[in-house]
Structure formats: C-alpha cells, structure tokens
C-alpha cells in the first residue's frame, strides 16, 4: 500500500457508474457493476498522476445492496480514513440505494476526513456518461484542503455536494436525481473549485459504531420492514410481518406522518409484542412535525429508509 501524503482511496461497490450497455445510446436495461474501481480510475485522464489507490469491494446493482457489503464498506472506509497519509475516501456506488448507504455510513463511521460517495445515472458506455465527471468531482472534494477542507460523509453528484445524512433520490431517470430536501446542498463544484455554502456535517455516531464489526460477525442483521399507509389500507401486512419475525417496523404515513386507523391498530398490536415502531412520512419533503399524545413514535425528519436504518442500529445495540 503506497504511503504518499494526500492519497485518495477509491472503493468500488458497483452500480450504474460501473455499468455497461449493449450500445452507447442505451440508458436503461444495462448491466450494473461490470467495471471495477480500478478500471473507472484508469479510464479518467484527469485523475492520472494523482496519488490514488483503487479497490473493488463489490460489483453490485445497488438495488441488491446487502448487509455483508455494508459491513465491509464501513470497515474499509474507517481503516483507510485512519491512515495519516490518506486525505479522504471515495466510494463509487449505485444510485438506487445511495441514500441508504450514505445514512448508514454517516451513523457508523467516524469521518474526520471526507468520506465521499458518488454515482451515475447513465452507464459508463453511454454517449455522454455522468460518471467520469462525478468521480473527478468526488476526488476533488476528498483532496480538499485549507479553508475549504471537507469532512464527514458526503455525496457528490452533478457538481453538488450533499450531506450523506440528508441525501434522497427524487427522480428515477434524470441526471439531476438527488436532493437534500429542505436542507439544501452543502457546497458546489464550479470548474473544479469547491464553493462551500454551509458548514460541513458533524459526526454523531450511533452507539453501535464502536462494536459494529464484532456484532455483525456474530449475528444477523435484525429484520426491520417498511409499511406504507394509504387509502383503503388494513393491518394485514403489519400482522404478517410480525408473524414472519420482524423486530422493527417503519410506517411511511401520508402527509405529516398520518397512519390509517387499521394500520395504527395493527402497529399497536405489534408494539404490545415487543416490536419497535417508528412513524415517518412518505412525502419527500418535511418529515413528521409535532403530533398528538396518542400518536405512534415519530421518526422526525428521517425518511422511511433512514428510519429503518436507525431502527436496525438500535436493535443491534440492544442485542
């Protein structure tokens, strides 16, 4: 392993950024995760000559992201960030579950240096792929120094830097597919120059972070599911999930976290059996604000997928 000061470590997990298609005009129906991190770095002339090290951890379509890959990614990211010669770590990832991985890493990795996730909406073989620019921008943020020196878990896409804890995917096809909701971007990349808009995120680690590797080496991830509330809903899904072994449930409620009466009743039965329940909003913006005394426990500003990760970590810590 080279020990050049200012080294950036690129960890590849697959995704569209590493995907290939049968022809250059094809933006859907491609195969994700074909190319390794080493190939992505080697194909980008602007990165040549920089102190970079690339490792491929997985070649997943991120819709299939799994617990072992999450655990390995967190372990490797923390290991490299602790090396004094490493300026930062970049993770190439698929867009489908990018917001989930970003939140998970935010909660379990002490990123006193930049831990930057990036991705692409078009495969590497596209006529105008977005991956190369996103990867270059991510490395730029990872190498930032001086007054603009970044830290924390970040995501860089389309010239915008987002906090990992605030990231959400808001479009299924367009290149500008990501947002930070009400919080907005942290910084912008303008012609290779980082313009910081607000302070870099703090690192409020979950209590389970200190023993995450040993916990996951000895036990399975706890089963936590998301149930969407909607018109004409009933409690069958909640009852079935509890019967199947769910230890936690996130209810993605309508509007400000409102939950259909039948689902709420089923959630009450689940809680009586020791199942943890959180109430989130299925809306992209706003989260859950306030509530009545008899409401189910609130996830606050967390999205349903973020609330699910938080419940999983809580259950791991309590085990």
Number of domains in the chain: 2
| In a shared domain, residues 40 and 185 | yes
Spatial separation of the C-alpha atoms in residues 104 and 111, rounded to whole Å: 12
Reference 224, options 276, 189, 263, 177; nearest CA is 276
Spatial separation of the C-alpha atoms in residues 299 and 271, rounded to whole Å: 16
Q: Which of 181, 196, 211 corresponds to the end of one domain?
A: 196
Write the burial class of residue 193 (CB in 10 Å: 0-12 exposed, 13-18 middle, 19+ buried). Answer: exposed
Output the pLDDT for position 2.
Answer: 54
pLDDT in tens, 244-271: 999 999 999 999 999 999 999 999 999 9
| In a shared domain, residues 159 and 15 | yes
Please indicate, yes or no, if residue 150 is contained in any of the structural domains.
yes
Output the pLDDT for position 214.
Answer: 74
Q: Which of 146, 161, 196 corresponds to the end of one domain?
A: 196
| In a shared domain, residues 142 and 92 | yes
Q: Which domain holds residue 90?
A: 7-196
| In a shared domain, residues 184 and 67 | yes
| In a shared domain, residues 241 and 192 | no
| In a shared domain, residues 153 and 229 | no
CATH number of the domain within which 64 lies: 3.40.50.1170
CA angle 209, 305, 124 (to 5 degrees): 95
| In a shared domain, residues 287 and 225 | yes
E-strand stretches of the chain? 7-14, 52-60, 86-92, 114-118, 152-157, 160-163, 168-169, 178-179, 187-190, 193-196, 224-228, 248-253, 276-281
| In a shared domain, residues 142 and 261 | no
| In a shared domain, residues 157 and 104 | yes
Pairing, β 224-228 against β 248-253: parallel
The token pair at 121 is 């909406």
Please indicate, yes or no, if residue 229 is contained in any of the structural domains.
yes
Please indicate, yes or no, if residue 212 is contained in any of the structural domains.
no
Please indicate, yes or no, if residue 236 is contained in any of the structural domains.
yes
Residue 175's Cα: distance from chain center in Å? 17
| In a shared domain, residues 188 and 229 | no
Distances, alpha carbon 189 to alpha carbons 157, 158, 181, 195, 230, in Å: 10, 9, 19, 6, 40
- For 317, the 3-state DSSP assignment is helix
The token pair at 47 is 């990165």
Please indicate, yes or no, if residue 211 is contained in any of the structural domains.
no
Q: What is the pTM of this model?
A: 0.95
Please indicate, yes or no, if residue 141 is contained in any of the structural domains.
yes
Output the pLDDT for position 3.
Answer: 62
Output the pLDDT for position 256.
Answer: 94
Task: Please check whether residue 259 is in contact with residue 294, taking contact to mean a CB–CB distance below 8 angstroms.
Answer: no
CATH number of the domain within which 252 lies: 3.40.50.40
The token pair at 220 is 């399975």
Q: Is 221 left (phi over 0), alpha (psi -120 to 50) or beta?
A: beta
Spell out the residues 6+ positions from residue 84 whose beta carbon is closer than 8 angstroms to its own: none
Please indicate, yes or no, if residue 201 is contained in any of the structural domains.
no
Output the pLDDT for position 107.
Answer: 95
The token pair at 134 is 């996103």
Give the residue numbers annotated as catalytic, written as ranges: 16
Percent of the chain with pLDDT over 70: 98
Those residues of the chain that have pLDDT short of 50 are: none
User: What sign does the CA torsion over 12, 15, 20, 24 have?
Assistant: negative
Q: Is 64 left (phi over 0), alpha (psi -120 to 50) or beta?
A: alpha
Please indicate, yes or no, if residue 283 is contained in any of the structural domains.
yes
| In a shared domain, residues 42 and 116 | yes
| In a shared domain, residues 190 and 224 | no
């Amino acid at each position: 392993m080279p020990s050049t000061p200012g080294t950036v470590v690129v960890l590849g997990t697959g995704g569209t950024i590493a995907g290939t298609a049968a022809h250059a005009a094809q933006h859907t129906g491609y195969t994700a995760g074909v190319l390794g991190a080493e190939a992505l770095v080697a194909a980008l002339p602007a990165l040549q000559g920089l102190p970079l090290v690339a490792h491929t951890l997985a070649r997943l379509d991120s819709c299939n992201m799994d617990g072992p890959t999450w655990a390995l990614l967190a372990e490797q990211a923390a290991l490299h960030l602790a090396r004094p010669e490493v300026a930062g770590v970049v993770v190439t990832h698929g867009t489908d579950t990018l917001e989930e991985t970003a939140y998970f890493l935010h909660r379990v990795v002490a990123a006193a240096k930049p831990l930057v996730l990036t991705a692409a909406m078009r495969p590497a073989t596209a006529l105008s792929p977005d991956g190369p620019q996103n990867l270059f921008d991510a490395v730029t943020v990872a190498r930032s120094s001086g007054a603009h020196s970044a830290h924390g878990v970040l995501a860089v896409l389309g010239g915008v830097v987002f906090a990992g804890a605030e990231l959400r995917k808001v479009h299924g096809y367009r290149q500008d597919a990501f947002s930070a909701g009400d919080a907005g971007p942290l910084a912008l990349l303008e012609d290779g120059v980082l313009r910081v808009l607000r302070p870099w995120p703090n690192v409020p680690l979950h209590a389970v972070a200190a023993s995450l590797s040993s916990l996951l080496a000895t036990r399975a991830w706890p089963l936590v599911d998301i149930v969407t509330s909607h018109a004409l809903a009933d409690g069958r899904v909640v009852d079935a999930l509890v019967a199947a072994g769910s230890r936690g449930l996130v209810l993605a409620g309508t509007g400000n976290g409102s939950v259909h009466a039948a689902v709420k009743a089923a959630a009450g039965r689940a809680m009586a059996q020791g199942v943890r329940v959180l109430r989130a909003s299925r809306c992209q913006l706003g989260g859950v604000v306030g509530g009545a005394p008899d409401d189910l426990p609130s996830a606050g500003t967390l999205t349903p997928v973020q609330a699910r990760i938080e419940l999983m970590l809580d259950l791991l810590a309590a085990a």
